[in-house]
Structure 1
Amino acid sequence: MASWFLAVLFVGFGLPFVRSRKGRRLPGLIKASVATGTLCYLLGWWQVFSAFPSQVCPDFDYMRPIVHFDRYESSVFPPQATCYWQDGQQKELVSGWVNPLLFTCIAVLTGCLVTLAVLAYRRNRKGQTS
């Protein structure tokens, strides 16, 4: 699942939520960010919980000397699962694009919510002075 095809597909899924009409872009961008970020997080979560260390982190019996599996580390946020071997090798089990896309969606969502708050404050303040 290290393909960038799914990342493009997830962003493409979120794009229909964005409206091009003036005044409706911000709510559409919020919806797109939430939809894409949720899909991305769910995929990363699935990759963490479907990885069984005994199956995806085998010992290297064919190497001389034999390299044994050392440890497995995982976290739910950000989605991360990594196998470590005694010789220093490591293997990341969550696709490399999941976390960058997830944090981009969080940044876009935060920016949109701050912008909405500023616009609401300006609108409210403008209504009070009139």
Structure 2
Amino acid sequence: MELKDILTLLVAAYAALLSTYVAVVQRQDKAPRVKVRTSYGFLTAGPQISDTHILMEAANIGEKPVTLSSVGLLLPDGSQFINSSNNSTHRLPCELTHGKNLTMWFDVKPLAVQLKQRGYSSVIKLSGRFSD
């Protein structure tokens, strides 16, 4: 194999890898992408601070609009605790366009009571879940 054949092969391989990378990135940009963040926090109303809440934020980080219809907490056994109250910055269903977000909150005390009724009596891991 001559040097020009090797260089041609290397350039062709580089072009194939680059075009594959660009195709993957473009496909990700067109797919719906929502980032969910769960944290503890407090609600404020003037100088008043609420009891502890679990705060869940869904942010649309993709280019395509996403409509969220429900929110819940995933329990360790795979079941889901659905928030039936409307404790959020927007009413569900809610369309999130690129860069928009929605925050939902659960009051910790009633949640702890309901989890205890379901048989959870120690520290457990909860994950936030939004669905469309």
- TM range, smaller chain: under 0.3
Pair member with larger Rg: 2
User: Between Structure 1 and Structure 2, which shows a larger proportion of strand residues?
Assistant: 2
